[in-house]
Structure 1
Amino acid sequence: MGTHVIKMPDIGEGIAEVELSVWHVKVGDMVVEDQVLADVMTDKAMVDIPSPVHGKVIALGGQPGEVMAVGSVLISIEVEGAGNVKASAQPAPVKETPVATPTVETAVESKPVAAAAPKAAVCQGPIVAREADERPLASPAVRKHALDLGIQLRLVRGSGPAGRILHDDLEAYLAQGQSNASAPVAAAYAQRHDEEQIPVIGMRRKIAQRMQDATQRAAHFSYVEEIDVTAVEELRAHLNEKHGATRGKLTLLPFLVRAMVVAMRDFPQMNARYDDEAQVITRPGAVHVGVATQSAVGLMVPVVRHAEARSLWDNAAEIARLATAARNGKASRDELSGSTITLTSLGALGGIVSTPVLNLPEVAIVGVNKIVERPMVIKGQIVIRKMMNLSSSFDHRVVDGMDAALFIQAIRGLLEQPATLFVD
């Protein structure tokens, strides 16, 4: 038997160090070639580190949240044969300490849960009892799936390595007819005295740093305008009915992207990046629209490049492709950088008004709120219209308030008269 040491790889773009975000294995686990060992975070993206060999994990080179240099020892694996290091050169194992990692469960409002049932022996079916403070192994995607299904992970038996809970385990749990109601009803009112400390690491740390940097450096101001989207929604429904089967379904987002592109012909200062250290504003001719996307590891902003040269369906397809890649953690560094203006939407949860934070070094971000039907007075008559607010933020250091208002009014006019979106 020998030892194969895997070092932190050179991820490119001159990156000298990365943050170890999460381990997918622990000491003692058996791994196979191409199995993901860990996730590391660069300034731009989350990167999977796969195993190049089969073997047994004998040492981890760091803890989640630790910043590691490229070339440093990431993990040591016992393998058949000689391995790639001499026995005397093997690194000392890093002592594993329990570290809570951020998951989608921490990103939602805490809800009361039933008190723990008495600990029981592991059964052979999909049900198992754990202590209330025992954190079962599961990926962020599985945790999100369990949250959506209303399943307490501590009750689910994991069939993966080291008892890791898989999607199939959730399905097996449901198939057995179990639910959160399996806990005693009276226990739902029991007092709780536990607490959880969640390190701010990985993507959450990057998001926190960027948001803090944006609010401290830029002079934010927001502008909210109400838009009648009845006509554009009718057009969207018509196009989907006529071409949806062959060209794909359209959401409102590609219409908004088109409106932003057309409006920026008269307001090029919105499509800009501001280097406040060099005191230089760059206004590219191309429009690269960042589309804020929520993923299991946090907010990501994949970029629709050259939106000015795309049709409605092309923009729609690219938005959908990038959103799927971001949610699955597959978006590349190039796909997550280079935007010149950002579009953000909370969909059906859009609320009435929001105050988006700028995606520096951009100078504008357009925020979409939810569509509601309301009575409106038009030419002295009360009619029902579909209304939506745009809540947008700008960097007052380089964008004047009047220009921001005129820019949003231009978008409003284009959406309320959607034929003008396609008039050159």
Structure 2
Amino acid sequence: MITRTNDEAMLTQLCTTDANFDASLSALLAWEGVSGAEVQRRVDDIITAVRTQGDAALIETTNRFDRLSVTHMSELTVSKARLHQAFDGLPQEQRDALAHAAERVRVYHEHQKPESWQYTEADGTLLGQQVIALDRAGIYVPGGKAAYPSSVLMNAIPAKVAGVQEIIMVVPTPDGILNELVLAAAHLAGVDQVFTIGGAQAVAALAYGTETVPRVDKIVGPGNIYVATAKRAVFGQVGIDMIAGPSEILVITDGGTDPDWLAMDLFSQAEHDEDAQAILIGWEQSHVDAVKEAIERLLPGMEREAIIRQSLTTRGALILCRSQAEAVELINRIAPEHLELSVDEPEAWLPGIRHAGAIFMGRHTAEALGDYCAGPNHVLPTSGTARFSSPLGVYDFQKRSSLIQCSAQGASTLGRTASVLARGESLTAHARSAENRITS
């Protein structure tokens, strides 16, 4: 059923016993992030221009889309001294908060670092794996009204921990407005170069390089539909992290958490944009009703009320289920970006949860802490892709090479096996290459 609040917002309420529940949930979760033909055409044109005209295309598109009038790339380049100046110019409280968050993110990601390894078989053959960092990574950071210093930390620090030699950051500055917190975060995170460009043109510059912007090996970071479309277009030329959809939160409640807390937790993701999704699941009808009442009461006082209201109206829901076991089934079906287990003994739930980007455990663990300073990365799989994807991490900025060194005896033993298999595939040169190493 669907219920209208006093303020005319529509909040979907579902029950797993409803005859049409499966269809209703599928419709609620449906999200198509693929751009239309017109967006694709514009992105293709921009990428072609940057590939063929380099800096000139970057200047032209940046002037057009960001309402600037620059004539040289030096005007779109931010020096390291300027980044340091931005950090020094922050109020002490902001400097301390940014430094605290950066250190927590760094410490967490240090634990992710994989090690190279190898072993030697009885005949002396050595096998192993060498872990190597990417040479250069590109970090896309949203600008304008969506300026997130936390995004700088979450994207750049894992790259630095991974051992990436050079980190290039791009950030649009509509109307020439620089965000001091974003620049300060770039200083703290160890970003090497910053260019004030954005959109598809920035992605193209990172992917192909220009006279000024270095070509990178991988592009990470969130952006609008033009950025997402461009990342998809250049994939293969460079690596990308993911094609991210709108922010999501799934809150599971056993009825013991303050309804006002849960309402605000839902708001925390709904306020990102109108397409964000906030869902709550519980099996205590009275508590679900109390959360609904808290939403209606607290929403009018929110600064981003209109955005939250639209998000809850179009993609939000309160779902009544029958049990904890059914809640776990729904978690795995939804595969949420952010999962809040606002329950007693949340660790007992973990063995049953297979699909979730990040799991926030217990009544005191608000998802918002993960957005800023808990430590784990806030770049997470969305739109159900947690079924096969993971949070951004150190491993995204490294690659692995296999190590193989045969002893004479090992080459002879393996050569016999390889010869049989190669001749079975009618690849004679493969077989003879292996047979050359066989000893009698």
Mark yes or no: TM-score above 0.5. Answer: no
Higher relative contact order (CA 8 A, sep 6+): 2
Which structure has greater strand proportion?
A: 1
- How does the TM-score come out when normalised to structure 2? 0.20
- How does the TM-score come out when normalised to structure 1? 0.21
